[in-house]
Amino acid sequence: MSEAHTFHPTVLREYDIRGIVGSTLTAADARAVGRAFGTVVARGGGKTVCVGYDGRLSSPELEAAMVDGLVACGLHVLRIGLGPTPMLYFATRDREAAAGIMITGSHNPPDYNGIKMMLGKGPVYGRQILDIGAIASKADYVSGEGSSEQLDIKDAYVERLLRDYDGTRDLTIAWDAGNGASGEILRRLTAKLPGKHVLLFDEIDGNFPNHHPDPTVEKNLVDLKAAVAEHGCDIGIGFDGDGDRIGAIDHLGRVVWGDQLVAIYAADVLKSHPGATIIADVKASQTLFDEIARLGGNPLMWKTGHSLLKAKMAETGSPLAGEMSGHIFFADKWYGFDDALYCAVRLIGLVSKLNQPLSELRDRLPDVVNTPETRFQVSEERKFQVVQEVKARLKAEGADVNDIDGVRVKTADGWWLLRASNTQDVLVARAESGTPEGLERLKGMVVAQLEASGLQAPSFEDGGSAH
User: 369-452 adopts what CATH topology?
Assistant: TATA-Binding Protein (3.30.310)
Separation CA 215–CA 90 (nearest Å): 22
The CATH architecture annotation of domain 17-152 reads: 3-Layer(aba) Sandwich (3.40)
Which residues are the active-site residues? 106
Sequence spans of domains, the chain: 17-152, 156-363, 369-452
SS3 track for 183-201: HHHHHHHHHHCCCEEEEEC
Give CA separation, 178 vs 90, 102, 419, 437, in Å.
Answer: 22, 19, 29, 37
277, 315 contact by CB (below 8 A): no
Query: Selecting from 3.40.50.300, 3.90.1150.10, 3.40.120.10, 3.40.50.800, what CATH number does the domain 156-363 have?
Result: 3.40.120.10
Q: What is the pTM of this model?
A: 0.94
Mutual orientation of helices 59-71 and 27-43 as an angle, nearest 10°? 40
- Domain 369-452 in the same topology as domain 156-363: no
Q: What sections of 232-339 are H helices per DSSP?
A: 258-272, 286-294, 306-316
Mutual orientation of helices 258-272 and 286-294 as an angle, nearest 10°? 10
Neighbours of 44 (CB within 10 A): 11
Provide the pairing of β-strand 407-411 with 414-420.
antiparallel
Separation CA 185–CA 189 (nearest Å): 6
Separation CA 248–CA 261 (nearest Å): 8
15, 123 contact by CB (below 8 A): yes
Residues in the chain: 467
The pLDDT value recorded for residue 457 is 74
HSE (CB half, 13 Å, CA atoms) of 156?
A: 14
Separation CA 179–CA 240 (nearest Å): 9
Residue by residue, pLDDT tens for the chain (467 residues) are 568 999 998 899 888 999 999 999 999 999 999 999 999 999 999 999 999 999 999 999 999 999 999 999 999 999 999 999 999 999 999 999 999 999 999 888 899 999 999 999 999 999 999 999 999 999 999 999 999 999 999 999 999 999 999 999 999 999 999 999 999 999 999 999 999 999 999 999 999 999 999 998 999 999 999 999 999 999 999 999 999 999 999 999 999 999 999 999 999 999 999 999 999 999 999 999 999 999 999 999 999 988 899 999 999 999 999 999 999 999 999 999 999 999 999 999 999 999 899 999 999 999 899 998 888 888 888 999 999 999 999 999 999 999 999 999 999 999 999 999 877 788 999 999 999 999 999 999 999 999 999 998 767 764 333 33
365, 425 contact by CB (below 8 A): no
